[in-house]
Amino acid sequence: MPPEGDDIVGQVQVIKARYEDTFAALGETHDLGYLELVAANPGVDPWLPGAGTDIILPTRFILPSGPREGIVINLAEYRLYYYPQGQNVVHTFPLGIGREGWGSPVGNTRISAMTSNPAWYPPQSIREEHAAEGDPLPTVVPPGPDNPLGPFKMSLALPGYLIHGSNKKFGIGMRVSHGCFRMLNHNVLELAKMVKVGTPVRIVDEPYKFGVSEGKVYLEAHAPLEEGEEKTLTLMDKHAVVINTLLKRDEAAGNLHLDWEMVREIIAGEDGLPVQIAEQRTEVAAQEDQLF
């Protein structure tokens, strides 16, 4: 966890790609989602980066706003944060979330059950969808390598929603599911060792996160989730969301001199990397500014 009053953890890393590397494989190795890597490396071919190409690993994160307890899922970030009770640490993992038309919910819930090596009982709606595509599903898929839930599932108190593993390596950090939260298998097993039934789960949708580190203010921007063309955000819409998000940070909003040109660049880029946009002014400096 960061020091008291700070909101940022981790550091950005840069590695050299090998000939055989893909973003999907790098994501599995470094616990990053596919779209995270794409956003942080514009212009790099995700399927053939090329030997020797510099690859930015976006492993620095502004923590989501709100209480730092239990599990926090940020949909816009395709990422889960877990704050163990009584420990000054945070664990974070990439997620696959609900695809367009099957969006994952926002709200507060909890883990209601935990199941190792689960069987999968496809809901009728999913069976009908697969049947229409010529890919009929059985009424039950037993545990094993072909089970889409992977080696572990955590049921949420929201009926029908799970945090679970996968039988596919591709799709983590993307909109791929029917609303559930899909994790890399080694990640879901790691998380399962730390949480328990009753662990609170808070699901948010924060494409723009502000955070403070060593007196400097940072903005981290992700592409907002959209459902249909009618909800496509213009650049002006995004600016309004950023301003409203900042105004919610009461302790910072009135005590900053923002670099608005940098803010505009960050919003346009949406690369998921925390970038400095201001420094917090001291109370004395703020009072002096008011005199002139």
Q: For 253-284, what is each residue's pLDDT tens digit?
A: 556 778 888 999 999 999 999 999 988 665 43
Q: What percentage of the chain reaches a pLDDT higher than 90? A: 61
Is residue 250's pLDDT more than 80?
A: no
pLDDT tens-digit map of 61-81: 999 999 999 999 999 999 999
Q: What percentage of the chain reaches a pLDDT higher than 70? A: 89
Q: Tell me what pLDDT residue 166 has.
A: 92
Are residues 109 and 198 located together in one domain of the fold? yes
List the CATH number of the domain containing 119.
Answer: 2.40.440.10
Which of 163, 186, 204 is a domain's end point? 204
Catalytic residue flag (residue 180): yes
- Tell me the DSSP string of 20-46: T--HHHHHHHHT--HHHHHHHSTTS-S
Domain presence at residue 49: no
Are residues 181 and 110 located together in one domain of the fold? yes
Q: Tell me what pLDDT residue 37 has.
A: 97
Domain presence at residue 172: yes
| Angle separating helix axes 260-269 and 235-247, nearest 10 degrees | 120
Q: Tell me what pLDDT residue 253 has.
A: 52
Domain presence at residue 217: yes
Decide: pTM greater than 0.85.
yes
Give the H/E segment covering residue 269: helix 260-269
pLDDT tens-digit map of 83-115: 999 999 999 999 999 877 667 889 999 999 999
Spell out where 17-169 has E strands.
54-57, 60-62, 70-74, 79-83, 91-94, 97-98, 107-116, 152-156, 162-164
Is residue 130's pLDDT more than 90?
A: no
Give the H/E segment covering residue 190: helix 185-192
Are residues 151 and 246 located together in one domain of the fold? no
Q: Tell me what pLDDT residue 14 has.
A: 98
Give the H/E segment covering residue 245: helix 235-247
Is residue 240's pLDDT more than 70?
A: yes
User: Would the CA dihedral through 190, 13, 175, 139 be positive or negative?
Assistant: negative
Domain presence at residue 279: yes
What is the rounded end-to-end Cα distance, in angstroms, of the chain? Answer: 40
pLDDT band of residue 249 (cuts 50, 70, 90) is: low
Which of 175, 204, 233 is a domain's end point? 204
As a 3-state breakdown, the chain gives helix, strand, coil percent values, each rounded to 5, of: 25, 25, 45
**What average pLDDT does range 197-207 have in this prediction?**
97
Domain presence at residue 53: no
Is residue 33's pLDDT more than 80?
A: yes
3-state SS, residue 215: coil
**What average pLDDT does range 13-41 have in this prediction?**
96
**What average pLDDT does range 45-67 have in this prediction?**
96
Are residues 156 and 223 located together in one domain of the fold? no
Domain presence at residue 125: yes
Q: Which of 30, 91, 130, 164 is catalytic?
A: 164
Contact at 8 Å (CB) between 25 and 53? no
Q: Which of 30, 91, 130, 180 is catalytic?
A: 180
Of the candidates 122, 148, 118, which has an alpha carbon nearest to the alpha carbon of residue 137?
122
Catalytic residue flag (residue 239): no
Domain presence at residue 22: no
Is residue 291's pLDDT more than 60?
A: no
Q: Tell me what pLDDT residue 134 has.
A: 79
When divided into structural domains, the chain yields a total of: 2
**Domain span including residue 255:** 209-291
Domain presence at residue 48: no
Q: Count Cβ atoms within 10 A of the Cβ of residue 232 and give its class: 0-12 exposed, 13-18 middle, 19 or more buried.
A: exposed
Are residues 137 and 197 located together in one domain of the fold? yes
Q: Tell me what pLDDT residue 202 has.
A: 98
- What distances in angstroms separate CA 251 from CA 117, 162, 233, 246, 247, one per listed residue? 46, 36, 28, 10, 9
Which of 186, 204, 222 is a domain's end point? 204
Are residues 127 and 189 located together in one domain of the fold? yes
Contact at 8 Å (CB) between 72 and 66? yes
- For residue 92, the tally of other CB atoms under 10 A from its CB is 20
pLDDT band of residue 178 (cuts 50, 70, 90) is: confident
Are residues 200 and 230 located together in one domain of the fold? no
**What average pLDDT does range 3-27 have in this prediction?**
93
Of the candidates 290, 211, 208, 285, which has an alpha carbon nearest to the alpha carbon of residue 251?
211
Question: Mean of the per-residue pLDDT values for the chain?
Answer: 87
Contact at 8 Å (CB) between 78 and 35? yes
Q: Tell me what pLDDT residue 101 has.
A: 65
Are residues 196 and 257 located together in one domain of the fold? no
Are residues 225 and 251 located together in one domain of the fold? yes
